[in-house]
Chain A
Amino acid sequence: MSVSTCPSEPSNAVAPASGLDELDRAIVLATQAGLPLVPDPWGTVGKPLGLAGNEVLARMRRMQASGVIRRIAAVPNHYRLGYVANGMSVWDVDDAHIERLGREVAAIPGVSHCYRRPRHLPEWPYNLFVMLHGKNQAEVERQAEALRERLGEACRDHRILYSSRILKKTGLRLARRPGPPR
C-alpha cells in the first residue's frame, strides 16, 4: 500500500502523443513499473523489443529531453517512511495573486504537489490544490496553518480532505496504445 503522491495527474494542456513512436511506447510500457535492477538495465529492457541497450538509452534520453520523462529516480514510498497522513488541501485564492502564491506555496516543506484548477461555483469554490504529507494529522494541520499564513488575505476559505481509503493506485498509466477505450 502506498499513499505517497496523489493525485498527481498532469495538465491536459499539452498535446498528446508528443512524437512518441511505437518503440518509445514499448519502452515506456516496459519501464513504467521500474527498471530491471541489473548492471545493464537498458540492454535488458531492449532484448524482448529487439533493441540494443544503447538504442534504448538513446530513446530514454530523447524522451527526457522532450519532457515525456521528468527524471529517472528512486521513488520513495512516503507511507513506508512514516508519512502516514496525507491531506489534499484546497484553497479559494484570489485569482489576481494565485500565480505568485502558488509558486511560494510549492516551496514549503511537506508540499509535494501544488496545482491550480478551475472553480465550479457554487459547489466548488477552491482553485488551489496543495498535497500535504505528515507523520500524523496534527502535523498536516500545522502545515496547513503555515500555508494559511502565507496566503494571507488572498485566501478566502480552505478545507483539508483526508483520504479515508485508497481504492486504487497504480503507477501504470500509459494506455497500451492510442485507440478506442478497451
Chain B
Amino acid sequence: MAELDALDRRLIDTYQRGLPLCERPFAAMAERLGVSEAQVIERLQLLQQSQVLSRVGPVFDHARAGASLLAAVAVPEAERDEMAAAINRSPGVNHNYAREHDYNLWFVMTAADENQLEARLEALEEELGWPLLRLPMIEGYHIDLGFPIPWNELEAS
C-alpha cells in the first residue's frame, strides 16, 4: 500500500463522501482541515498521481444521463479472449471483467436511451454468436457513499 500520512487519510476519509460544491471547494476543504488551499491541491495531485485516488470529481448517476445494463455471456474458454476483444470494441461498453464461472465474461453496456441500448445488445449478441444474459438493475439498496477505510488493518497486512 502507498505511504499515506494523516492528512492524506483525512482527505480520503472525509471527501470520498463528497466535496463542498462551492466557489472555491479546495479552500473550503483547507479551512476544515486547518491547512492551506495550496496544500490541499498539492496533496490531491499527489494522491491522484500515485493512483490512490482514481479522480477528484463528480460521480454521475448514469441512469439519469442515459441507459445501461449489466450483461454476461458464457463463451468457451478457448474463445474467451477473442470474445472479450469483440465486447471491448463494441460501442457503449465501459466495464468488462473475466469471471470464474460458466458465465465468464461480464460487462456493462451503456447507451443514450433504451432503444439504443437494446440495439447495441442485439448487434453484439449477433457478433458473438452467444446469447447475452441481460441483468438490468431492478433496485439498488446501497447508499453509495464509499465505505470506511480501516487504515490500521491495512497497514498490518
Contact = CB atoms under 8 A, between A and B. Distances in A.
A163 B142 CA distance: 21
A110 to B, nearest CB: 7
A31 B58 contact: yes
A105 B143 CA distance: 11
B141 A75 contact: no
Nearest to A126: B135
A173 B94 contact: yes
Nearest to A60: B21
B95 A168 contact: yes
Contacts of A178: 66, 112-113, 116
Contacts of A110: 147
Interface in A64-101: 64, 66-77, 80-82, 88, 99
Size range of the interface on A? Answer: 35 or more
Contact of B137 (A11, A41, A167): A11
B128 interface: no
Interface in B8-56: 11-12, 15-19, 21-27, 37, 41, 44-45, 47-48, 50-56
Contacts of B18: 71-73
Given A70-B61, A80-B50, A112-B142, A38 B41 contact: yes
Contacts of A71: 17-19, 58-59, 145
Nearest to B143: A106
Interface residues of B, number: 92
A117 B70 contact: yes
Nearest to A16: B113
B16 A81 contact: no
A32 B65 CA distance: 12
B78 interface: no
Contact of A73 (B16, B50, B88, B100): B16
29 contacts: A7-B95, A7-B106, A17-B66, A28-B58, A31-B58, A32-B57, A34-B55, A39-B27, A54-B23, A66-B64, A73-B15, A73-B19, A74-B47, A75-B53, A76-B53, A76-B146, A80-B52, A88-B99, A117-B135, A120-B134, A123-B133, A124-B103, A135-B154, A161-B99, A165-B97, A167-B84, A167-B87, A168-B87, A171-B54
Interface of A: 2, 4, 6-14, 16-18, 20, 28, 31-35, 37-42, 53-54, 57, 60-61, 63-64, 66-77, 80-82, 88, 99, 102-103, 105-107, 109-118, 120, 123-124, 129, 133, 135, 159, 161-175, 177-182
